[in-house]
Amino acid sequence: MDVLVVTLRRNWIKRNKGVLYTYDGDSDDDYEAFVEKMNPPRVVVDNESCPNATVIEVGSKANKNGILLEVVQVLTDLNLVVTKGYITQDGGWFMDVFSVTDKDGNKLKDQTTIEKVEGHIRKSLGVDSSYAPSKRRSVDVATSTDYTVIELTGNDRPGLLSEVSAVLYDLNCNLVKVEIWTHNTRAAAILHLTDQSTNSPVKDSDRLSMIKERLNYVLKGSNLSRGAKTDVSVGCAKNMERRLHKLMSDDGDFEIDSQDVAGGKTKRPSVKITNWNDKDYSVVTIRCKDRPKLLFDAVCTLTDMMYVIFHGNVAVEGSEAYQEFYIRHVDGSRVKDEDRERVIHWLKAAIERRVYEGLKLELSTPDIVGLLSEVTRIFREHSLTVTRAEISSGEGKAISTFYVRDNNGDIVMQKTIETIREKLDQIVKQKTIETIREKLDQSVLHVEGQIEQTSKCTKRSPINFLFGELFRAMSLNFGRPSL
Over residues 330-357, the pLDDT tens digits come to: 999 999 999 999 999 999 999 999 988 7
**Distance separating alpha carbons of residues 252 and 229, to the nearest angstrom:** 13
Over residues 214-273, the pLDDT tens digits come to: 998 888 766 555 566 777 666 555 689 999 999 999 988 887 554 444 444 457 899 999
Residues 6+ apart with CB under 8 A from 283: 273, 274, 275, 276, 324, 325, 326, 327
Q: How far is CA 280 from CA 1, 234, 286, 299, 340, in A?
A: 29, 44, 20, 20, 15
CB 55 within 8 A of CB 117: no
Same domain, 189 and 244: yes
Please say if the pLDDT value at position 118 is more than 80: yes
| Helices (runs of H) and strands (runs of E) counted in the chain | 13, 24
Beta-strand pair 81-88/307-317: antiparallel
295, amino acid identity:
L
Per-residue pLDDT at 224: 53
DSSP H/E element including 101: strand 94-101
Banded pLDDT at 30 (limits 50, 70, 90): low
Per-residue pLDDT at 397: 87
CB 268 within 8 A of CB 259: yes
Same domain, 92 and 73: yes
Same domain, 174 and 312: no
Looking at per-residue pLDDT, the higher value among 12 and 290 belongs to 290
Per-residue pLDDT at 396: 83
**Beta strands in 235-319, from DSSP E residues, in sequence order:** 236-237, 270-276, 281-289, 307-317
Instruction: Please return the burial class of 180, using the count of CB atoms within 10 Å of its CB with bins 0-12, 13-18 and 19+.
Output: buried
Per-residue pLDDT at 429: 80
Beta-strand pair 470-471/463-464: antiparallel
CB 194 within 8 A of CB 394: no
Q: How far is CA 200 from CA 190, 236, 370, in A?
A: 18, 14, 17
Banded pLDDT at 401 (limits 50, 70, 90): very high
Q: Residue 314 falls within a domain, yes or no?
A: yes
Per-residue pLDDT at 302: 96
Same domain, 244 and 371: yes
Average pLDDT, the chain: 78
High-pLDDT (> 90) share of the chain, %: 44
Domain end residue (candidates: 353, 368, 394): 353
**Distance separating alpha carbons of residues 410 and 157, to the nearest angstrom:** 17
**Distance separating alpha carbons of residues 123 and 299, to the nearest angstrom:** 20
Same domain, 370 and 406: yes
Q: Residue 481 falls within a domain, yes or no?
A: no
**Distance separating alpha carbons of residues 395 and 256, to the nearest angstrom:** 42
Q: Residue 98 falls within a domain, yes or no?
A: yes
Q: What is the mean pLDDT of residues 410-418?
A: 88
Q: Residue 25 falls within a domain, yes or no?
A: yes
Over residues 280-311, the pLDDT tens digits come to: 999 999 999 999 999 999 999 999 999 999 99
High-pLDDT (> 70) share of the chain, %: 73
Same domain, 95 and 170: no
Please say if the pLDDT value at position 4 is more than 80: no
Q: Residue 286 falls within a domain, yes or no?
A: yes
Per-residue pLDDT at 481: 40
CATH code of the domain in which 77 resides: 3.30.70.260
Residue 315's beta-bridge partner residues? Answer: 84, 322
Q: What is the mean pLDDT of residues 160-181?
A: 93
Number of domains in the chain: 2
Angle in degrees, 0-180, between the axes of helices 294-304 and 67-77, rounded to the nearest 10: 150
CB 133 within 8 A of CB 121: no
Domain end residue (candidates: 402, 422, 442): 422
Same domain, 379 and 245: yes
Per-residue pLDDT at 279: 86
Residues 6+ apart with CB under 8 A from 232: 148, 149, 150, 208, 211, 212
213, amino acid identity:
E
Per-residue pLDDT at 15: 38
Same domain, 245 and 380: yes
Same domain, 322 and 379: no
Give the Cα-Cα-Cα angle 157, 159, 160 (nearest 5 degrees): 65
Per-residue pLDDT at 433: 54
Q: Residue 391 falls within a domain, yes or no?
A: yes
Beta-strand pair 451-452/412-413: parallel
Same domain, 285 and 371: no
Same domain, 9 and 86: yes
181, amino acid identity:
W
First to last CA, the chain: 57
SS3 88: strand
CB 452 within 8 A of CB 411: yes
Q: How far is CA 11 from CA 25, 64, 373, in A?
A: 7, 22, 59
Same domain, 158 and 207: yes
CB 411 within 8 A of CB 457: yes
**Domain residues for 58?**
3-129+267-353
Domain end residue (candidates: 367, 399, 422): 422
Per-residue pLDDT at 8: 40
Q: Residue 18 falls within a domain, yes or no?
A: yes
Per-residue pLDDT at 436: 53
Q: DSSP per residue over 363-401, as a string?
A: EEEE--TTHHHHHHHHHHHTTEEEEEEEEEEETTEEEEE
Name the range with the highest mean pLDDT among 49-53, 441-445, 469-473.
49-53
Q: Residue 135 falls within a domain, yes or no?
A: no
Q: What is the pTM of this model?
A: 0.78
